[in-house]
Amino acid sequence: MINPLRPNLPPGVLYLREYGPVTFEIVHGDITDEVTDAIVNAANEHLQHGGGVAAAIVEKGGDIIQIESNRLAPVPVGEAVVTGPGQLPVRFIIHTVGPQWRGGGFGEEEQLAEAVLSALKRATELGLESLSLPAVSCGIFSYPPAHAAGVIIRTIRIFCKEQETSLRHIRCTILERDTAELFGRVLQHEV
């Protein structure tokens, strides 16, 4: 799916939106290939990187990421911590703990927004200019992507418009094409 408003987007970029000084992109790709200043890992509270995005990050970046994570655990849902990148081509990994989906009546939306916001705040505290994040909680935590897309995009939009930040480029990098396109459609309809 091509963004009809910007047909000449870079490879992998499905949609692009400007939020003040920040360019926000929906990207179909592998977050472990990103070369932004940092990537966000969708982590569990114990920072045990055994599945999903977390496992892919450790597999490609090396065991040092798990070793550093062990020193920081546990991390409450909605919070984020930072480790080095191991062998990945970024400066940092920001591990944010999103909620497990339990039907929607247990504060999942607020927890997901807090997890994304915490990652954005850590990036700003580090003075980073670019950040890539996945569809937090949509994998093994079973958060419905259609619902998560709205929460994640809205949180990024509000943060970029209301907070002072060093960030100038945020990419939501999603491996599954269908999910990336779904996020793009949600972005198209964001106010």
Burial class (CB in 10 A: 0-12, 13-18, 19+), 6: exposed
How many C-beta atoms lie closer than 10 Å to residue 18's C-beta?
Answer: 9
- Residues 73-130: tens digit of each pLDDT: 999 999 999 999 999 999 999 999 999 999 999 999 999 999 999 999 999 999 999 9
Name the amino acid, one letter, at 150.
G
Relative to beta strand 80-83, strand 92-97 is: antiparallel
Answer yes or no: pTM beyond 0.85. Answer: yes
Q: Which residues contact 107 (CB under 8 A, 6 or more apart)?
A: 99
Name the amino acid, one letter, at 86.
G
Mean pLDDT of the chain: 94
Mean pLDDT throughout 10-38? 93
The answer, yes or no, to whether residue 1 has pLDDT greater than 50, is: no
Residue 167: DSSP 8-state:
-
The answer, yes or no, to whether residue 29 has pLDDT greater than 60, is: yes
